[in-house]
Chains A and B, each alone.
Chain A
Amino acid sequence: MDDMRENDPIDGHRHHPEAHEATSHADNHSDEPALDSTVDEHSLDLAAVRAKLRETSGKHYWRTLEELAGDPHFEDLLHREFPRQASEWDETVDRRNFLKLAAASLAFAGISGCRKPEQLIVPYVKQPDGMILGKPQFYATAMAFGADAVGVLVESHEGRPTHIAGNPDHPSSLGSTDVITQASVLNLYDPDRAQTVTNLGEIRTWSDFLKEAEALVATAKAQGGASFRILTGTVASPTLAAQIQNVLKQIPGAKWHQWEPAGSDGPREGSKLAFGRYVNTVYRPEKADIILSLDSDFLASGPGHIAYMKQFYRRRKLSEPSDTMNRLYVVEPTPSVTGSSADHRLPLRSSDVGQFARALASKLGLGGSGTLSPAAEKWLDAAAGDLEKNRGKSLVVAGEFQPAEVHALAHAINAALGNVGTTLYYTEPVEANPLNQLESFTGLCADMDAGKVSTLLIFGSNPVYDAPHDFDFTSKLQKVATSVLVSTHFDETAEYCKWHVAESHYLETWGDGRAFDGTVSVIQPLIAPLYHSRSAFEVLAAFTDKPGLTAYDAVRDRLKSSAPAADAEKFWRKTLNDGVVRDSAYAPISVAPKFSAANLPTAKAVPAGQLEFIFRPDANVHDGRYANNGWLQELARPVTKITWDNAALVSPRLAEKLALTQRAAARGGEHGQIVSNVIDISISSSNVTAAAWILPGQADDVVVLPLGYGRKNAGFTGTNKGFSAYVVRASTALWTVTAGTEAIKKTGHEYPLACTQYHFNMEGRKILATGTLAEYQKNPKFAHEGDEQPPKEMSLYKEFAYPGYAWGMAIDLNSCNGCNACVVACQSENNIAVVGKDQVMRGREMHWIRIDRYYSAQTPTNDPSTTEGDALDNPETFFQPVPCQQCENAPCEQVCPVGATAHSAEGLNDMVYNRCVGTRYCSNNCPYKVRRFNFLRFQDWETPSLKLLRNPEVTVRSRGVMEKCTYCVQRINNGRIEAEKQNRPIADGEIVTACESACPAQAIVFGNANDATSRVAKLKAQARSYAILGELNTRPRTTYLAAVRNPNPELEKA
């Protein structure tokens, strides 16, 4: 957009999200209309506008501007202000006129600058009397995502949201976040966002759209209403749902359809099958001793996963050898975050998971039967035995992408084990309008095809890209007379829609959402919309009888009932402050089971040798909606470590069968570029070409097709990356397709994938210490066996005493499942650049903290396409976050010729960017290879919107300098300033690094190692604590606690 708009958010007066009203957008236009007025023919208009302005003053002015906008000349003038039509600049403007214009512009700008926020939003942690420049403020809000809303605290610098952290008071967050929530702040500043209303690609004003909406409503009413349709994703916002209902009420006969491409009907239909109605399941992993996951990645995806992860890992903290741990069994077709950190993992085809569930039900005496291989049978016996032994303390979780029967079986099994009410409970659905989305969407497509739909409003969906291919949505969409798409980007669907309305980011709008347990949180905006964007609520309002109703008012109205009228204001403020509406969680309900496993028809076992293709949302870009987010693109997938692409995942055995290979390229090699085979996949009467990736631990004959890639119009970052699995996804086989081996053909082509860690062998080095609970109990110091710790005196230099603070970090490998939240949190906090696929392939990604993934299987080579010894069929997987180790004897410091990396008195290994000349000697000499170098100018210094994103407390590095983890030194200094102001020492836990704050498993603990009572000192004193490469005498301040798994002795014996 024009410069004025871009600079707006920097303006100190504009940081408050006061512009929630429809009217406020009009004033945003007002900055420059005078400029155009003389430029175009209506030079008289300026005078008219001036005259009108003179008539009014102060706040009233803004209400009348709409009237002004109603004036056709003025409207035209508004329309022409956009710089895209800068060709309209008339050269007849001479200096004199130019000055006049400038003066007029200034007058308008002045009016805009005087605006005060009309509604108050309440900062969460610190409520300043006035804003103190340079001091961030923290606001509580929430990010709605499917049938969940994650409560977040947003750090705002002078009105610019820069960093997202979890809200400890919010049940979905409990103070932590996940990668998508962390990265959502980048979406706000995405330079490729749609910025205005368009009609067939031409820019239109909002009032044009309002007029059109009015006409559409009138036509729809005249036609009986059924031709008016709304398509949304899953909606869990009560206010938005109420607004949709308002529209439906307004236009009787209109219909609301829902389609979430990466959301499955399984859980919903499963609950219907089990209980005869839709219910929501809430788990309490904290209360479970034994957990069995039936292909569920409940620790890393799905509603409530952050909370589940937090609760789950509370049960895996060890401080004494006498401590106990929970035990996790996972049955799954492809290694997930949850499966990779399981105590026992059984790779089974997706369809065999169903068989497994049936067999388990039958074993527990619920009837029915399932066929399993002898090995799986044995595994099942052990797991079932464990579950039975722990009645009421066990939990069976069915995976989202499993069919309804598996969910119903899980409900029945949990009931039979007496877990309902203890380790899980049921509530009313969190979704505002739960329904079978596939049916709903199929119905919509059929009606569109039949010409029964004349108006279609699409909210946030991108069906042209992600609808099942057999629906041929594109051609059906063209049969709709008026289609309106409300989305953040001008995407694939936008190209086929008549109207496109730029959708506001959740940090720009008011709203509300329900968390996985029903808790309501208010979404409060942190910033006025950067562009001429609208929220879904505002767009819907255009179709109601109250087009002026704002989301703000609607949300407040809705909450009125929650508190006595007298306390309404106080209640509202408290709600905004806390980020949650207190005690709004759904109460557990008791539901009567209407399901018997015995009556379930037996499922046909898929014959061995058939291939099973399964679709899964991508861990980072989800269904494709985050494809244009560079942080998520560059983030290595937890298990595969692939960035910037998706790949068809195959097991080592299948790869061998199909003669698929992959190799490290000469450039970048294991740390960057892996060349893999390209395969042609023909399923569901369609075909797609994809890069194959050999994934140890994947069930044989399973091919995973991650969704979310192959976008054609996602923006600069996300377009044409990877392959689109939607191309081969049919409505009849949304999640699983079986086909013969002929469905895959090797094409003979090769494709380079950017993979940040290909070498998975530890080469017998003690980098990551692991053991079992039994080993730990027998020998708590098992991690130190064979250690060689050189004596402290063995140094040329004098021992340095750290009399004050000695910052240190302890990372509990027992709690890390590689979810990556810390990586994105660090990227956001520390202004870390995105370098792009080409640079990642050269081994130059910039993440300050990386998560190393190792398989404990020892293989003679590092080539997963050879299955020698079956070591890679189901290897134990371990994750290790590696930030700078902040060595006391830092090898990097010694070799820097200019002293650009030096030791602080508190033991930090400081990096002085100003002083760095970039010899890279420090990186060569770093045994942990945690230093990152700006080989080129990786930072984007030009894009205005990205300037707003940056954390002002952290230097934005330019090319030629080394950088690395600083233990968030800016946070340390903030903590120190606060403590010194109050003349007290810094308390433990007062300084929280970004990675620590993000980690849902609380695997990372930072603090003062000199203080024996601090959490970090206690962790470091544990027997499990060890330093990576301690034998080098680097004396790292970051130490690790050995990973301990809790296997079932029965299965271990085998």
Chain B
Amino acid sequence: MSAGQPPFDSPEISRLTPVLGPGHTYSSVTDKISAIVLTRPTSLGWYIGFLLAFSVFGVLNIAIGWLIMKGVGIWGINIPIGWGFAIVNFVWWIGIGHAGTLISAILFLLNQKWRTSINRFAEAMTLFAVACAGIFPLIHTGRPWYAFWMFPYPSVMGIWPQFRSPLIWDVFAVSTYGTVSLLFWFVGLIPDLATLRDRSTTKAKQIIYGMLAMGWRGSARHWHRYQSAYLLLAGLATPLVLSVHTVVSFDFSIAIVPGWHTTIFPPYFVAGAIYSGFAMVITIAIPLRKAYGLEDFITMRHLENMAKVMLATGLIVAYGYFFEFFMSLYSGNKFDVFLVHQRLHGPYAPFYYALILCNILIPQLLWFQKMRTNVVVLFLMSIVVNVGMWLERFVIIVISLTRDFMPSAWGRYSPTIWDWATFIGTMGMFVMLIFLFVRVLPAISIAEMRELVTETSEEHK
């Protein structure tokens, strides 16, 4: 992976470009980051943004409430298209949830310093995305109140889940990923929570942050333990980044549906996940650094590195598309050949062309540094990639189901208002959680940034 290892150094932004703006001291870093949470007054913009997101979150609640009252029939799914928006959104959100842990764990292990200022909120984003994703497999079941049967618990009936089903692997993969990501994030937060505790001015904040800081005093022993724990968790999280989407891709590749049953899915899903994950990090980082004046912490070098990761993973995804087609045609399997024809000429062809445009053609602009360093272009590009990755899942999941083996059973899918409400509702929930996170927790790791202060000042000597 080319992440963080630019193939060439350009004069404007090279690896020598600092990942922390010049002139920062320990206290300036601490002040600046903790101020967002503790001292700066809550801006009107935050309130407006939060309320907007909160009302969209309300839509999600209404949509889920209605769903539980009436059943999944309020969605557009049918026979033969048993999975629609819910699973598309699930895979999409899980994909987005890949960047955080990747940045925190893999880049940490690879000792990529530039990860420091983006890892915290990338991890938070991961958690929120996994939370959004986790809603879907639960509510997409016909009887969500029995969804716990998918967990292996000792039931009096002596019944276990059916372990051959990829959905069970999914349950393990996603819940493990969620748990480890949460722990990793929380362990990383502990020194910062202690900082917030120490700087809190009100009793309530002191108590809350104090409890969350779990008695952190910053002793050498604490730091020693902390760093081994963090390293261990990073090591633990790293394979999970690869495994989650691999397992999610099994949901499809294990099935016999033409368009699902492909061995290329695991690597191509993982690459796609990182692709969309980085796109989402960029989507959030750009407004965030602008709104809170964090340009010194999230510098152009961060953005450019992330753009490079996007370009690289985008190319892997393009390779996946190509080989999916090639293998379908090369295999001579009539159902697979038909699928290619169906994607190019079937009733859903526009979606496929839009997918190619969003995921392959437009991101080629990232070859140019001018584009990579243009914040507006980068922001728009990240949105395009997110749309493209959503379309990819739609094409794979829904369109493959519309026309499989028996022509007599072919059908079509179109989402209902409740499909949209649920999808947009999870976006509201995601944004709402991001707003809350930014407001109550340090969006950038104070402790790690302080380390950077030493290192950058040494570099500058």
Query: Which A residues fall within an 8 A CB radius of B?
Result: 664-672, 757, 759, 761-765, 767, 839, 842-844, 850, 852-854, 880, 882, 891, 894-899, 915-921, 923-925, 927-929, 931-937, 959-962, 1028-1029, 1032
Question: Is B407 an interface residue, CB under 8 A from the partner?
Answer: yes
Assess whether A895 is in contact with B166, with CB atoms less than 8 Å apart.
yes
Are A899 and B405 CB-contacts (below 8 A) given A916-B142, A920-B77, A960-B72? no
Question: Is B147 an interface residue, CB under 8 A from the partner?
Answer: yes
| B334: chain A residues within 8 A (beta carbon) | 764-765
| A915: chain B residues within 8 A (beta carbon) | 149, 159
Question: Is B106 an interface residue, CB under 8 A from the partner?
Answer: no
| A842: chain B residues within 8 A (beta carbon) | 73, 76, 78
| A916: chain B residues within 8 A (beta carbon) | 142-143
10 new A-B contacts at CB < 8 Å, known A918-B141, A929-B404: A757-B409, A767-B408, A891-B255, A895-B254, A916-B142, A919-B142, A921-B167, A928-B405, A934-B71, A961-B143
Say which residue of A762, A934, A935 sits within 8 Å of B78 (CB atoms).
Answer: A935
| B257: chain A residues within 8 A (beta carbon) | 924-925
Assess whether B141 is in contact with A960, with CB atoms less than 8 Å apart.
yes
Whole-angstrom distance between the Cβ of A605 and the nearest chain B Cβ: 40
Assess whether B78 is in contact with A668, with CB atoms less than 8 Å apart.
yes
Say which residue of A761, A767, A897, A937 sits within 8 Å of B162 (CB atoms).
Answer: A897
| A1028: chain B residues within 8 A (beta carbon) | 406
Bound Cα distance from A852 to B404, whole angstroms: 15
Are A923 and B408 CB-contacts (below 8 A) given A763-B338, A933-B142, A959-B73? no
Number of interface residues of B (CB under 8 A): 53
Question: Is B223 an interface residue, CB under 8 A from the partner?
Answer: no
| B162: chain A residues within 8 A (beta carbon) | 896-899
Write out, one digit per residue, whether chain B residues 133-149 have a CB within 8 A of any chain A CB (1) or not (0).
00000001111101101
Bound Cα distance from A324 to B141, whole angstroms: 53
Question: Is B351 an interface residue, CB under 8 A from the partner?
Answer: no
Main secondary structure on chain A at its contact with chain B? loop
Whole-angstrom distance between the Cβ of A863 and the nearest chain B Cβ: 12
Are A672 and B411 CB-contacts (below 8 A) given A917-B149, A918-B72, A920-B82? yes
Question: Is B40 an interface residue, CB under 8 A from the partner?
Answer: no
Assess whether A934 is in contact with B408, with CB atoms less than 8 Å apart.
no
Q: Which 3 A-B pairs have the closest CB atoms?
A: A918-B142, A669-B412, A960-B142
Assess whether A852 is in contact with B411, with CB atoms less than 8 Å apart.
no
Bound Cα distance from A260 to B362, whole angstroms: 70
Question: Is B164 an interface residue, CB under 8 A from the partner?
Answer: yes
Assess whether B71 is in contact with A935, with CB atoms less than 8 Å apart.
yes
Whole-angstrom distance between the Cβ of A889 and the nearest chain B Cβ: 10
Say which residue of A891, A896, A923, A933 sits within 8 Å of B256 (CB atoms).
Answer: A891
Whole-angstrom distance between the Cβ of A674 and the nearest chain B Cβ: 11
Assess whether A924 is in contact with B141, with CB atoms less than 8 Å apart.
no
Bound Cα distance from A705 to B251, whole angstroms: 49
Assess whether B406 is in contact with A929, with CB atoms less than 8 Å apart.
yes
Residue of A nearest to B70 (CB): A936
Assess whether B76 is in contact with A927, with CB atoms less than 8 Å apart.
no
Whole-angstrom distance between the Cβ of A1031 and the nearest chain B Cβ: 9
Whole-angstrom distance between the Cβ of B408 and the nearest chain A Cβ: 4
Residue of A nearest to B170 (CB): A897
Assess whether B79 is in contact with A843, with CB atoms less than 8 Å apart.
yes
Residue of A nearest to B147 (CB): A917
Query: Which residues 378-437 of B sit at the A interface, judged by CB distance below 8 A?
Result: 401-402, 404-414
Assess whether B414 is in contact with A666, with CB atoms less than 8 Å apart.
yes
Whole-angstrom distance between the Cβ of A178 and the nearest chain B Cβ: 23
| B159: chain A residues within 8 A (beta carbon) | 898-899, 915
Write out, one digit per residue, whether chain B residues 57-82 have a CB within 8 A of any chain A CB (1) or not (0).
00000000000001111101111111
| A937: chain B residues within 8 A (beta carbon) | 71
Bound Cα distance from A918 to B80, whole angstroms: 14
Say which residue of B144, B166, B256, B347 sits within 8 Å of A1032 (CB atoms).
Answer: B256
A-B contact pairs, 13 of them (CB 8 A): A671-B78, A672-B411, A759-B407, A843-B411, A897-B167, A899-B159, A915-B159, A917-B142, A917-B147, A918-B142, A921-B255, A923-B79, A927-B404
Residue of B nearest to A842 (CB): B78
Question: Is B165 an interface residue, CB under 8 A from the partner?
Answer: yes
Assess whether B411 is in contact with A670, with CB atoms less than 8 Å apart.
yes
Residue of A nearest to B256 (CB): A891
Bound Cα distance from A704 to B161, whole angstroms: 55
Residue of B nearest to A922 (CB): B82
Are A767 and B80 CB-contacts (below 8 A) given A936-B70, A936-B71? no
Assess whether A882 is in contact with B408, with CB atoms less than 8 Å apart.
yes
Are A960 and B143 CB-contacts (below 8 A) given A897-B168, A919-B167? yes
Residue of B nearest to A843 (CB): B78
Question: Is B171 an interface residue, CB under 8 A from the partner?
Answer: yes
Are A895 and B165 CB-contacts (below 8 A) given A918-B142, A927-B406, A928-B406? yes
Say which residue of B83, B402, B408 sits within 8 Å of A669 (CB atoms).
Answer: B402
Whole-angstrom distance between the Cβ of A362 and the nearest chain B Cβ: 44
Bound Cα distance from A543 to B167, whole angstroms: 71
Assess whether B408 is in contact with A757, with CB atoms less than 8 Å apart.
yes
Bound Cα distance from A925 to B401, whole angstroms: 9
Question: Is B150 an interface residue, CB under 8 A from the partner?
Answer: yes
| A931: chain B residues within 8 A (beta carbon) | 79
Query: Which residues 144-183 of B sit at the A interface, judged by CB distance below 8 A?
Result: 144, 146-147, 149-150, 159-162, 164-168, 171
| B338: chain A residues within 8 A (beta carbon) | 763
Residue of A nearest to B74 (CB): A936
| B255: chain A residues within 8 A (beta carbon) | 891, 895, 921, 924-925
Are A960 and B71 CB-contacts (below 8 A) given A763-B407, A898-B162, A927-B406? yes
Say which residue of A765, A844, A935, A936 sits within 8 Å of B407 (CB atoms).
Answer: A765
Assess whether A843 is in contact with B80, with CB atoms less than 8 Å apart.
yes
Assess whether A894 is in contact with B164, with CB atoms less than 8 Å apart.
yes
| A672: chain B residues within 8 A (beta carbon) | 78, 411-412
| A925: chain B residues within 8 A (beta carbon) | 255-257
Assess whether B409 is in contact with A917, with CB atoms less than 8 Å apart.
no
Assess whether A767 is in contact with B406, with CB atoms less than 8 Å apart.
yes
Bound Cα distance from A669 to B411, whole angstroms: 5
Whole-angstrom distance between the Cβ of B411 and the nearest chain A Cβ: 3
Assess whether B150 is in contact with A671, with CB atoms less than 8 Å apart.
no
Write out, one digit per residue, whether chain B residues 262-287 have a CB within 8 A of any chain A CB (1) or not (0).
00000000000000000000000000
Assess whether A665 is in contact with B412, with CB atoms less than 8 Å apart.
yes
Bound Cα distance from A631 to B164, whole angstroms: 38
Say which residue of A670, A896, A929, A1032 sits within 8 Å of B79 (CB atoms).
Answer: A929
Residue of B nearest to A938 (CB): B73
Residue of B nearest to A935 (CB): B73
Bound Cα distance from A854 to B408, whole angstroms: 8
Bound Cα distance from A683 to B338, whole angstroms: 46
| A767: chain B residues within 8 A (beta carbon) | 406-408
Most buried by A among B70, B140, B406, B408: B408
Bound Cα distance from A938 to B455, whole angstroms: 67
Most buried by A among B142, B150, B167: B142
Bound Cα distance from A894 to B162, whole angstroms: 8
| A669: chain B residues within 8 A (beta carbon) | 347, 402, 410-413
Are A898 and B72 CB-contacts (below 8 A) given A757-B408, A764-B334, A935-B78? no
Bound Cα distance from A111 to B262, whole angstroms: 73
Bound Cα distance from A1028 to B409, whole angstroms: 14
Assess whether A670 is in contact with B71, with CB atoms less than 8 Å apart.
no
Whole-angstrom distance between the Cβ of A654 and the nearest chain B Cβ: 26
Are A961 and B142 CB-contacts (below 8 A) given A843-B79, A897-B171, A1029-B405? yes
Whole-angstrom distance between the Cβ of A637 and the nearest chain B Cβ: 15
Assess whether B83 is in contact with A936, with CB atoms less than 8 Å apart.
no
Residue of B nearest to A912 (CB): B159
Whole-angstrom distance between the Cβ of B400 and the nearest chain A Cβ: 9
Bound Cα distance from A515 to B353, whole angstroms: 64
Assess whether B161 is in contact with A899, with CB atoms less than 8 Å apart.
yes
Query: Which residues 215-261 of B sit at the A interface, judged by CB distance below 8 A?
Result: 251, 254-257
Assess whether B143 is in contact with A894, with CB atoms less than 8 Å apart.
no
Most buried by A among B80, B143, B164, B411: B411
Assess whether A668 is in contact with B147, with CB atoms less than 8 Å apart.
no
